[in-house]
Structure 1
């Protein structure tokens, strides 16, 4: 069993149909930018992941994309809306069919970088590691490549490496445990990083057959 790492590949295109962090979310016509259940304000767009038709992350190319996952989290008043929870309404993970996607219109007023969007778009390179667990794979890659561990953006698929207890969510439709789509680090630059409580890690899950998704983080 191997681990597929997401590593930093420099600046990315803000509206590209690729796995990336930052930029603009893509969705079908009529898709609405989600708002926080606590404060009512629009959430910050964090990342986009390309999946196949069964809700699994695509690790080689994007020719058979079935869905796109868009991940949002409230940053209007960090720490006050239980943004870490998969059910409290402080974050959203949405699955969209990959056909006829376009940028989701940003709410008004659009602050640009900050509350609505990250300050940078990070392109992603995928690296296969022979290590079966994520943290070992990350260390192995850093030693082999000579790059900072901050350049590891996370992993695609595999098994979640929890910092605390196992919090694998169940699908609200079929009640089965969801599968890990991606595990995220905050990012290589503190000034433009995602906020997972300071050095935390986040987890995106999906139930492909039910087109349900969930997001949470631990620190």
Structure 2
């Protein structure tokens, strides 16, 4: 149950693939993040979906408009979800997420330092887990729909290193995943 982008999500048995509230098509699975990777001692998965059936027409960038979905799954998330036959549901490629811990920097500084030290390109950075989000616009930390408290940041995702792995965050945007530690609710949004 590693953190990754793409592939088929691991879900509990009763899971139903999310559909966009606007176009009613099935959403595209983007990523699953092991909560322990972002918050040591935590268990479970954060799974993120976003509508790509009519890019730009459904409000998939907004945490509450219905064009995206995020779920926190527990230890019962062990089976590959049945993938709908219609709509745009999967990325073209699966990418395992490797981690590099760089102390003393915010995300953008750590990303720049990593690219200098490894001599690899910025698009090879898939994002960050834990820490603080590096907002491209204003802080849009969502409040939990259940308890009305600000959610905890879990992951910031970059679009990906090539067209096969890329999520569509408006061309150069970032996605942000959150969860409520108290209620188990989750949310996702993106900015460009």
Q: Structure 1 residue aligned with 2:119, among 140, 143, 146?
A: 146
Q: Structure 1 residue aligned with 2:38, among 51, 57, 81?
A: 57
CA distance in 1, matches of 2:166, 2:107: 20
- The match for 1:96 is 73
Q: Structure 2 residue aligned with 1:31, among 15, 21, 30?
A: 15
- The match for 2:58 is 81
Decide whether aligned partners of structure 1 residues 65 and 167 sit closer, same or farther in structure 2, where only a CA change above 3 A counts.
Answer: closer
Shift of 1:124: 1.0
Shift of 1:213: 0.5
- The match for 1:130 is 103
CA distance in 1, matches of 2:158, 2:85: 29
Shift of 1:172: 1.3
Shift of 1:27: 0.7
Q: Indicate yes or no: 2:3 matched with 1:19.
A: yes
TM-score where L is the length of structure 1: 0.84
User: Which structure's relative contact order is higher, taking Cα pairs within 8 Å and 6+ residues apart?
Assistant: 1
Shift of 1:58: 4.8
Q: Indicate yes or no: 2:89 matched with 1:116.
A: yes
- What SS does structure 1 have at the residue aligned with 2:97? strand
TM-score where L is the length of structure 2: 0.95
Shift of 1:160: 0.7
Q: Indicate yes or no: 2:148 matched with 1:172.
A: no
User: What value does the CA root-mean-square deviation take over the aligned residues?
Assistant: 1.5
- The match for 1:214 is 187
Question: Contact 1:65/1:98 (CA < 8 Å) preserved in 2?
Answer: no
Shift of 1:100: 5.2
Q: Indicate yes or no: 2:83 matched with 1:106.
A: yes
Alignment of 1:151-162 (within 5 A): 151-162=124-135
Question: Contact 2:94/2:165 (CA < 8 Å) preserved in 1?
Answer: no
CA distance in 1, matches of 2:165, 2:101: 26
CA distance in 1, matches of 2:97, 2:83: 24
5+ long unaligned stretches in structure 1: 1-16
Shift of 1:30: 1.3
Provide Cα deviations, 1:33-81, integer angstroms capped at 9, x if missing partner. Answer: 10000000100000001114xxx7256xxxx662111100000000011
Stretches (4+) displaced over 2 A? 56-59
